[in-house]
Structure formats: C-alpha cells, structure tokens
C-alpha cells in the first residue's frame, strides 16, 4: 500500500510540474504576442486575427525547440521551416513588411528576456552564472 501511495504521489508531482511548465510557456507566448503586436502597431482587427495564428506558431516553435535541442543544425532548420510555414499567414494579416518583422521582433523579445534573466541572476547571491538559454536567431 505504501508503494502504491508513493507511486501515485510521484505521478501527481510529475503532472503538476508539466502543467506548471505549460503555464509558463503560455505566459511567455502571451507576453511575446503582446510585445509583437505593440511593436508592429497592430490595430484591433489585425491583433484579433493575429492572436490565434501567432499562438499556434508559438506552440509549433516551442515544440521544435524542445524536440531538437540536442542537434543545433537540425534545430535551426526546423525553426526556419516553422517560420516559413507561418510567414504567409502573418503577411496576409499585417502586410508583407510587418509579416517579416514578426520574427525580428520575436528575436528582440527573446534577447530582452535573456538580458532580464541575466540581470536577476547577477543580483542574486550564490546564483548560477552560466545557465543562459541561447536560442537560435
């Protein structure tokens, strides 16, 4: 009985951590979407049409990052494939120039997020200093 309780407890903890990771991904995706919408000065109609497409793009992009994190070259190719797949949809919503700028703004958002994380780590005593998550440009 104790073993069963232990196994159920481990399972519950595992599910909780996965759910927390998904919540974090959702929060980052929402913040990235808001950042891009603001930087590209989207009107309400563009933002309304952009949101579901971007959130699906973000999900596919994160999946590629997780799946190919150990192979840098293949990761870069998969990220490019995802961007090519969504580029035409973004262009349809916000025009050709701003459709291409979505990916540039995404890179800027990631750099700002990394800088913020590094600042927080430097201000914390006894914090690990070498754990920066470099994402492909």
Tell me, yes or no, whether 14 lies in a domain.
Answer: no
Q: How far apart are CA 41 and CA 94, in angstroms?
A: 10
Tell me, yes or no, whether 133 lies in a domain.
Answer: no
Tell me, yes or no, whether 9 lies in a domain.
Answer: no
Number of domains in the chain: 1
Tokens matching residue 12: 């519950």
Tell me, yes or no, whether 87 lies in a domain.
Answer: yes
Tell me, yes or no, whether 4 lies in a domain.
Answer: no
Tell me, yes or no, whether 10 lies in a domain.
Answer: no
Tell me, yes or no, whether 60 lies in a domain.
Answer: yes
Per-residue model confidence as pLDDT tens for the chain (137 residues): 555 444 555 555 555 444 444 556 789 999 999 999 999 999 999 999 999 999 999 999 999 999 999 999 999 999 999 999 999 999 999 999 999 999 999 999 999 999 999 998 888 776 565 555 556 65
Place of tokens 């563009």: 46
Q: How far apart are CA 110 and CA 134, in angstroms?
A: 9
Cβ of 90: how many Cβ atoms within 10 Å?
A: 23
- pTM (2 decimals)? 0.70
Tell me, yes or no, whether 12 lies in a domain.
Answer: no
> Any idea what DSSP says for residue 108?
H
Q: Domain range spanning residue 48? A: 21-123
């Amino acid at each position: 009985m104790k073993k069963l309780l232990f196994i159920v407890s481990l399972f519950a903890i595992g599910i909780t951590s996965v759910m927390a990771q998904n919540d974090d991904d959702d929060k980052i995706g929402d913040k990235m979407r808001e950042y891009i919408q603001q930087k590209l000065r989207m009107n309400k109609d563009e933002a309304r049409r952009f949101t579901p497409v971007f959130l699906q793009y973000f999900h596919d992009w994160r999946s590629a990052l997780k799946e190919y994190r150990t192979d840098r070259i293949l990761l870069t190719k998969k990220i490019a494939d995802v961007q090519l797949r969504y580029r035409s949809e973004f262009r349809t919503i916000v025009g050709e120039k701003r459709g291409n700028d979505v990916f540039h703004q995404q890179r800027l958002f990631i750099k700002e997020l990394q800088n913020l994380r590094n600042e927080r780590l430097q201000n914390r005593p006894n914090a690990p200093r070498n754990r920066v998550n470099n994402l492909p440009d």
